Amino acid sequence: MIDLQLTDKTHDEGRQGEALVIDAPAKRNGRKLYIESYGCQMNFADSEIVASILLDQGFETTGDYKEADVVFINTCSIRENAEQRVRNRLSQFGVEKRRNPKLIVGVLGCMAERLKSKFLEEEKLVDVVVGPDAYRDLPQLIGQVEDGQKAINVLLSREETYADISPVRLNGNGITAFISIMRGCDNMCSFCVVPFTRGRERSRDPHSILAEAQDLFDKGYKEVTLLGQNVDSYKWKGADAAENAEIEVNFAQLLEKVALISPEIRIRFSTSHPKDITDEVLYTIAKYDNICNYIHLPVQSGSSRVLDLMNRTYTREWYINRIDAIRNIIPDCAISSDIIAGFCTETEEEHQETLTMMDYVGYDFAFTFSYSERPGTLAARKLEDDIPDEVKRRRLSEILLKQQEWSLYRLQQNVGKTLRILVEGPSKKSDKDYCGRTDQNAMVVFPASEEIKAGQYLNVFIERCTSATLLGRIAD
């Protein structure tokens, strides 16, 4: 058996993955791999693909980079501070590389795609640079480094979806898992590097998605998250052997197909785009109890003018229309968002429009950021980053304060109710407590008991809450 571990430095939790034991490969080459992932859930899922490819080559993996022969850092370019964290981490790996000159250090993902060969020139400690569409080439690239050369492959693909690769599940709890349903993005938001680092949008064969979801359920997983840069634009067209015909599958239809695998497997998805989310998707969520009543719908700004500069292709009124549809069709749906403070030329009045949008929606949670200009984007080429840092910080502070108020309010509405949760395991703060999530993605903490097992559904009576967590006891 092999002890597998991934350190997951996500933008929201910064948590470290737990060890997962899986069957050993038929062949072992004695080399050990360490992977560290930063950024979004897509990066986490990609690291599972990388681990699968190299495990098949005989690698073992380790949770200690000092034991590794190959160290990969899966990177994020969405904000400048994310890239700086990667550079800082590479310098730490450099200490180990000086001790062990044979250590191979590689950079994967979006930052690798953005900087390309410059990475090999700027970061002398980096041996391998690999973009998100070139992971199949990793065995050959590692061999190239072992022959004394630097190695790089950052070619983007219009076809690659890794549909035939079964990811190694690195999150370690054996209960929740990611399933990538599409790759790339066709939305050219002016602030975003994703279309340049992950390429054009392409959807994965639904048959392979359903097979992966069924396999996870058969192995005891209780929740899957369908991942894509813009899941609502999922569309696949091809032959269906069962029907002996050409079929088209959109996101609502895919959601339904996954939901029908079993009522005992919960389905989440991320991320939706306001311009694409349809009533058909909302009615599908409402129809099936095992599709979670939770939608992440990034607004970015409450101002139509700023949204136009961001090239978001919707207005304030359009976004409100989609919120109204969610509230009407799925009344108890939780909604989260992404919000950017201080985008180019944003006025004080437009900042206030963002705050009033937050009051209109009443988000359960939000990822909030100060605008960070990313090289190569339309905004970097065409717009002036003219909002002073102190103004950005003050506006972000006001957004954060507003969101804290709404997050607390939303959680308070659950006090006195009995909620069904999926147990994830022991609480991180105390081994005397267990934790799990509602289908609205709220974290619930309650006293541990010998009878409770991870992966179990429980009814928990909510007694009180903090600004981020519900606290309760197992219902009688």
Domain boundary among 153, 187, 211: 153
- Domain co-membership, 87 together with 106: yes
* C-alpha span between 50 and 41 (Å, rounded): 14
- Domain co-membership, 105 together with 34: yes
Residue 276 lies in a domain: no
Residue 164 lies in a domain: no
* C-alpha span between 438 and 421 (Å, rounded): 5
The total of structural domains in the chain comes to 4
**Is 382 a residue whose pLDDT tops 60?**
yes
Q: Which tens digit of pLDDT belongs to each residue from 454-464?
A: 999 999 999 99
**Is 172 a residue whose pLDDT tops 80?**
no
- Domain co-membership, 144 together with 42: yes
**Is 19 a residue whose pLDDT tops 60?**
no
Backbone angles phi, psi at 89, to 5 degrees: -70, -35
User: Between the CA of residue 339 and those of 156, 230, 233, 367, 399, what are the distances in Å?
Assistant: 29, 17, 21, 6, 8
Domain boundary among 124, 153, 182: 153
**Is 21 a residue whose pLDDT tops 90?**
no
For residues 128-157, average pLDDT: 94
Higher pLDDT, 76 or 297: 297
Alpha helices in 147-268 (DSSP H): 194-198, 206-218, 251-259
- Domain co-membership, 61 together with 109: yes
- Domain co-membership, 206 together with 100: no
**Is 236 a residue whose pLDDT tops 50?**
yes
Are the C-beta atoms of 33 and 188 separated by less than 8 Å? no
Mean pLDDT lowest among 25-34, 53-62, 309-318: 25-34
- Domain co-membership, 15 together with 113: yes
Q: What is the CATH number of the domain that holds 83?
A: 3.40.50.12160
> Of 216, 330, 355, which is closest to residue 272 (Cα–Cα)?
330
Domain extent for 407: 300-413
pLDDT on residue 363: 98
- Domain co-membership, 15 together with 149: yes
Mean pLDDT lowest among 82-86, 246-250, 320-324, 397-401: 82-86
- Domain co-membership, 101 together with 114: yes
- Domain co-membership, 186 together with 262: yes
**Is 8 a residue whose pLDDT tops 70?**
no
**Is 143 a residue whose pLDDT tops 60?**
yes
Mean pLDDT in the chain?
90
Record the tokens describing residue 114, joined without a space: 């953005």
Residue 168 lies in a domain: no
Q: Which tens digit of pLDDT belongs to each residue from 237-267?
A: 987 766 677 889 999 999 999 999 999 999 9
Q: What is the CATH number of the domain that holds 226?
A: 3.30.750.210
Higher pLDDT, 444 or 12: 444
pLDDT on residue 123: 66
- Domain co-membership, 14 together with 94: yes
pLDDT on residue 25: 42
Q: Which tens digit of pLDDT belongs to each residue from 304-345?
A: 999 999 999 999 999 999 999 999 999 999 999 999 999 999
- Domain co-membership, 116 together with 6: yes
* C-alpha span between 274 and 429 (Å, rounded): 36
* C-alpha span between 40 and 51 (Å, rounded): 17
Q: Which tens digit of pLDDT belongs to each residue from 339-371?
A: 999 999 999 999 999 999 999 999 999 999 999
- Domain co-membership, 407 together with 423: no
